[in-house]
Amino acid sequence: MSGMRTILTTWTLVGVVCIGYGFWAVVSPSEERKREILKNLPEANPVKMEETRRRNTLIMQALKEAAETKDNITRGTGPPK
């Protein structure tokens, strides 16, 4: 009886994996859809990419200034009172 249970469990696991793979294949986008998604990413637009670079530069500058100061900037905009 133990052998039959092992075989049944194995085939059940194989079946579940196959069903999962089938669902994944149905839900995943086609190659054409993948190309369309990549075309519409912000990195594909030079204007948006430049804005992102500028924003990241400003954020990194603010973080660098915050790291170099001894003031606790989370309490307010000025030095502690």
* pLDDT tens string 25-78: 888 888 888 888 888 887 778 888 899 899 999 999 998 988 887 776 666 665
More reliable by pLDDT, 81 or 45 = 45
User: Cβ(37)–Cβ(29) under 8 Å?
Assistant: yes
pLDDT above 90 for 21: yes
Whether the predicted model's global pTM rises above the 0.75 cut? no
Average pLDDT of the residues in 9-24 = 95
Q: Given this model, what pLDDT does residue 12 score?
A: 96
SS (H, E, C) 38-58: HHCCHHHCHHHHHHHHHHHHH
